[in-house]
Amino acid sequence: MTSLPHPRIILLLSILLAASACSPALQPASSEVPSTVTPIPSRTPVPTVVPTATPLGCLTQPGRMDSGSIDTTRPSQEYLIYLPPCYDVQTDERYPVLYLLHGQLQTDDFWAVHLGTPAIADELIHSGAAQPFIIVYPDDRYWNQPAEAGFGDRMINLVIPYIDQNYRTLADRDHRAIGGLSSGGGWAVHLGLSRYDLFGSIGLHSPAIQPADEPYIEHWINAIPPGSWPRLWIDAGDADKDLGSITSFESLLRTDNLPHDWHLFAGDHSEAYWRAHAPEYLQWYADGWKSDVVSHPEPTP
């Protein structure tokens, strides 16, 4: 005879089965690690630092002197050249250029060695009184030989194009100046006035005006269009041997109301006189390249 379960056990089993049927199925545990949000702590903003340009060390160094020879003529055309501080470092920069012509019985080193113009240019540039510029010292030692007849042509057709092609010049009238002393000043009169389209500034220091040029000077002056008159400096010592022709030239300019800087200093026609005034000369040339100077409108042909 088989015994039956107790009625209370049957009742308990029935309750458990009913509860199990009503409960949702259990989900398997996820293996994904829940993401954790980490708050970003607040902090004081870091100010933006604007980098400042580091001064170039070369700006405190002297410029460089070099020499060259243009061998397409006989005799060859020699020259010295002053390249300003940082010329070899700032290779994208271009510079104004000044041509300084020496006198009779002198050579291309007269302005550089005897008058010390490279050191003067260094001082102007280092002090900020001038922007960097190039100085070219063409040689005219063959003035008393047949080749002398071609010096003006060599300057215009050989020297200036060669310098513009081989050095980083600003090759336009506004940034090109010519000056000379004694017979070099005579050449500056000749070239500066007859080729006003090439030179924005002309410096005449005790100029020995060439007698052959005297009949043409007024014609050259009258041929310069209005608004194209160059900056012009003239100086001489009160005991200069050529003072008569210099003052006659200056009087012509005054009669025609043509702007120019005229300086009659104490002194004679000598190295000591020019050396004493060389800093004034270079400052005047450099002033022509300051940003507040009105430029000439004509382009270089």
Total count of domains within the chain: 1
37 domain residue, yes or no: no
Mean pLDDT of all residues in 134-149: 74
155 domain residue, yes or no: yes
48 domain residue, yes or no: no
300 domain residue, yes or no: no
Residue 141 has what pLDDT? 79
- Of the listed ranges 44-53, 106-115, 189-198, 227-236, the one predicted with least confidence: 44-53
- Of the listed ranges 20-29, 71-80, 129-138, 247-256, the one predicted with least confidence: 20-29
Q: How confident is the model at residue 145 (pLDDT cuts 50, 70, 90)?
A: low
| pLDDT of 210 over the 80 cut | yes
| pLDDT of 191 over the 90 cut | yes
Q: How confident is the model at residue 90 (pLDDT cuts 50, 70, 90)?
A: very high
Residue 31 has what pLDDT? 39
Better-predicted residue by pLDDT, 6 or 159: 159
116 domain residue, yes or no: yes
Residue 56 has what pLDDT? 74
| pLDDT of 185 over the 90 cut | yes
263 domain residue, yes or no: yes
CATH, residue 86: 3.40.50.1820
Q: Give the dihedral of Cα atoms 232, 238, 243, 248; nearest 10 deg.
A: 60
| pLDDT of 37 over the 70 cut | no
257 domain residue, yes or no: yes
258 domain residue, yes or no: yes
Residue 144 has what pLDDT? 58
Residue 228 has what pLDDT? 94
| pLDDT of 53 over the 70 cut | no
User: What is the 3-class SS of the chain, one letter each residue?
Assistant: CCCCCCHHHHHHHHHHHHHHHHCCCCCCCCCCCCCCCCCCCCCCCCCCCCCCCCCCHHHHCCCEEEEEEECCCCCCEEEEEEECCCCCCCCCCCECEEEEECCCCCCCCHHHHHCCHHHHHHHHHHHCCCCCCEEEEECCCCCCCHHHHHHHHHHHHHHHHHHHHHCCECCCHHHEEEEEECHHHHHHHHHHHHCCCCCCEEEEECCCCCHHHHHHHHHHHHHCCCCCCCEEEEEEECCCCCHHHHHHHHHHHHHCCCCCEEEEECCCCCHHHHHHHHHHHHHHHHHCCCCCCCCCCCCCC
Give residue 107's domain range: 61-287
Q: What is the pTM of this model?
A: 0.78
Mean pLDDT of all residues in 117-144: 92
